[in-house]
Structure 1
Amino acid sequence: MRTLLLFCSLMILVSCQKNSSTESEKANSQPGEVAIKPDTLCFQQILKRDTTTLQLKIDGPTASGYLDNNPYEKDRARGPIEGTVAGNQIRATWSRSGEGITERYAITFTLKGDAIVWREGERVQKQGIWVLKEPARGYEYVLNKTDCK
């Protein structure tokens, strides 16, 4: 009888601990935000023969990784990214190498469920970094989460 009582008490204690951590996690996130845990995440988009892949390593408020944009029969652009995490957004600088040159591009990634999105369009150079001329317009990349290879 004591064993049964002890077992039930432990189960109640464990289940209460689990619920309290879940409640605190919910309280710390904003509605519509994706909780970002320290991890390595991989994303990919394949449209016909064009492939774009992104590998992200998130560690607290920082993110780093590698972006590879490989359009079929066109010039490939790839390189490392470094940025900061705020909510479900990652503001990053991509050291884009393509066509024999390396340039710095500003990119804002947004995590949406099991996908990551960002916009691409006409860019202008500001303080040595290429930024979108009209951030709300242009092509929107949508890469779905995939297994890291």
Structure 2
Amino acid sequence: MRTTVLAIITCAAVVSACNSSGSKQPGDSVSTAEAVKAGEAGAACYQKVVGKDTFHLQLIVNEDKANGVLDYNFFEKDKNSGVIDGTLSDNILRATYHFQSEGQTSDRPVVFKVMGQQVYEALADNFDANGVPVFNADNSQLKFEPQPYNKVDCK
């Protein structure tokens, strides 16, 4: 529990550093900690644009642990904004995404394949009774979105 709280606080600091406007907006999911420079935190930032939708992923990897910030900005829809906390093994990141959307706080699993300058988001095999994505436990059986997140400078 303590590790999770520390990871969220670290991610909050990174969110502050990456927020290009430098100010909080109503509905931001993270509201704690002083800003730290993304470069000092060892963060890697990625972005994917699909039509008018923009997705941002910021990762801080320490050995096999990874945490960071994940934002889904859907055009003319509510955005999902939050933090991820998980493990990285054989270039596969399995994490819990703790986010806010439509005023509600939720958790769901996310899986990414980290490939140098690009990151690919996994597609869920199915969904449980509550609509939570379920991913194959065998990394070799995972399927990924064809369009990657591309590495960008952290802001």
- Deviation for aligned residue 1:118: 1.2
Secondary structure class of the residue paired with 1:75: coil
Counterpart of 2:127 (choices 118, 123, 128) is 123
Identity %: 30
Change (3 A) 1:41 1:102: same
Q: 2:90 is aligned with what amino acid?
A: G
Using the TM superposition, name which of 139-148 and 108-117 deviates more: 139-148
Partners of 1:68 and 1:51 lie apart in 2 by 8
Which has the larger strand fraction? 1
Partners of 1:46 and 1:57 lie apart in 2 by 21
Aligned 8 A contact 1:125 1:131 in 2: no
1:69 corresponds to? 72
Aligned 8 A contact 1:124 1:133 in 2: no
Segments of 4+ in structure 1 off by > 6 A?
none
User: After the TM superposition, which residues 91-106 of structure 1 pair with which residues of structure 2 at under 5 Å, given as runs?
Assistant: 91-106=94-109
Aligned 8 A contact 1:120 1:132 in 2: no
Aligned 8 A contact 1:120 1:140 in 2: no
- Deviation for aligned residue 1:139: 5.2
Partners of 2:144 and 2:89 lie apart in 1 by 23
Q: TM-score when scaled to structure 1?
A: 0.63
2:86 corresponds to? 83
Aligned 8 A contact 2:112 2:120 in 1: yes
The structure with higher relative contact order (CA 8 Å, sep 6+) is 2
Which has the larger helix fraction? 1
